[in-house]
Amino acid sequence: MLASRALVRGLQSGFWRRVSTSSAAWAAHTHDVDVVDCSVPQYNNRLDTPLPDVPFVRNLSAEQKKLKEKEKGSWTQLTKEEKLALYRLTHELSYAEMRQGSKEWMTVLGGIFIFLGFTGLLVWWQRVYVYGDVPHTLSEEWVAQQTQRMIDMRVNPVHGFSHKWDYEKKQWK
Would you tell me which residues interact with other proteins (CB under 8 A)?
10, 12, 47-53, 55, 71-72, 74-78, 80, 83-84, 86-87, 89-91, 94-97, 99-100
Looking at beta carbons only, is 78 or 151 nearer to other proteins? 78
Looking at beta carbons only, is 100 or 137 nearer to other proteins? 100
Q: Provide, rounded to whole angstroms, the least separation between the CB of residue 67 and other proteins.
A: 10
| Neighbour count for residue 34 (Cβ, 10 Å) | 4
Looking at beta carbons only, is 2 or 153 nearer to other proteins? 2
Looking at beta carbons only, is 46 or 136 nearer to other proteins? 46
Q: Provide, rounded to whole angstroms, the least separation between the CB of residue 93 and other proteins.
A: 9
Q: Provide, rounded to whole angstroms, the least separation between the CB of residue 155 and other proteins.
A: 59
